[in-house]
């Protein structure tokens, strides 16, 4: 019986669904997909605001802090960046599993899946540039790339070290 990790059709569907979601999301303006109204409703008491008050850094040339953005946009920033990382984590992992199930070569699968996911991230940011009220950022491509690389490295470790011990 085949292992569930060697089913390329499932991972092909997952990768394609993620790419469609990303394309659709990049087609929407910031205003259309802002979660600030939701956050204002559910986090009206601004939990952890006092603890987050001193958190400040620059991302894409802009200051990220409660002082500069306001509490709700600050929280939304982290939700959006987590979404970047996680969607490309899933995309990179799916691409890796598609390749690895056919080729059984972990390093080749890692590099090809990682570069493919990073290329898609760059095209996604370019697509955002064509959409009104969106800001394409090189930093987002790097964050996406790190998400994909993280998944690929974890899978290489699993296949090269963890999977062999379980046989």
CA angle 158, 109, 19 (to 5 degrees): 100
d(C-alpha 161, C-alpha 148), whole Å: 20
Query: For the segment 40-56, what is each residue's pLDDT rounded down to a tens digit?
Result: 999 999 999 999 999 99
Count of other CB atoms within 10 angstroms of residue 112: 18
Domain locations along the chain:
4-27+76-165
Query: For the segment 115-150, what is each residue's pLDDT rounded down to a tens digit?
Result: 999 999 999 999 999 988 888 999 999 999 999 999
Q: What is the CA radius of gyration of the chain?
A: 19
pLDDT of residue 120: 98
pTM of the prediction? 0.89
d(C-alpha 59, C-alpha 2), whole Å: 45
């Amino acid at each position: 019986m085949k292992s569930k990790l060697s089913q390329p059709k499932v991972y092909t569907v997952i990768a394609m669904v993620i790419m469609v979601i990303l394309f659709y999301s990049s087609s929407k303006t910031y205003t259309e997909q802002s979660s600030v109204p939701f956050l204002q409703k559910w986090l009206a008491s601004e939990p952890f605001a006092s603890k987050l008050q001193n958190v400040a850094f620059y991302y894409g040339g802009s200051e990220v802090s409660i002082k500069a953005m306001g509490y709700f946009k600050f929280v939304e920033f982290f939700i959006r960046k987590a979404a970047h990382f996680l969607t490309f984590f899933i995309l990179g992992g799916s691409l890796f599993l598609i390749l690895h199930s056919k080729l059984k070569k972990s390093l080749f699968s890692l590099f090809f899946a990682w570069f493919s996911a990073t290329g898609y991230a760059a095209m996604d940011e370019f697509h955002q540039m064509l959409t009104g009220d969106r800001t394409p950022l090189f930093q987002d491509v790097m964050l996406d790339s790190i998400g994909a690389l993280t998944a690929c490295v974890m899978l290489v470790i699993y296949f090269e070290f963890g999977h062999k011990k379980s046989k």
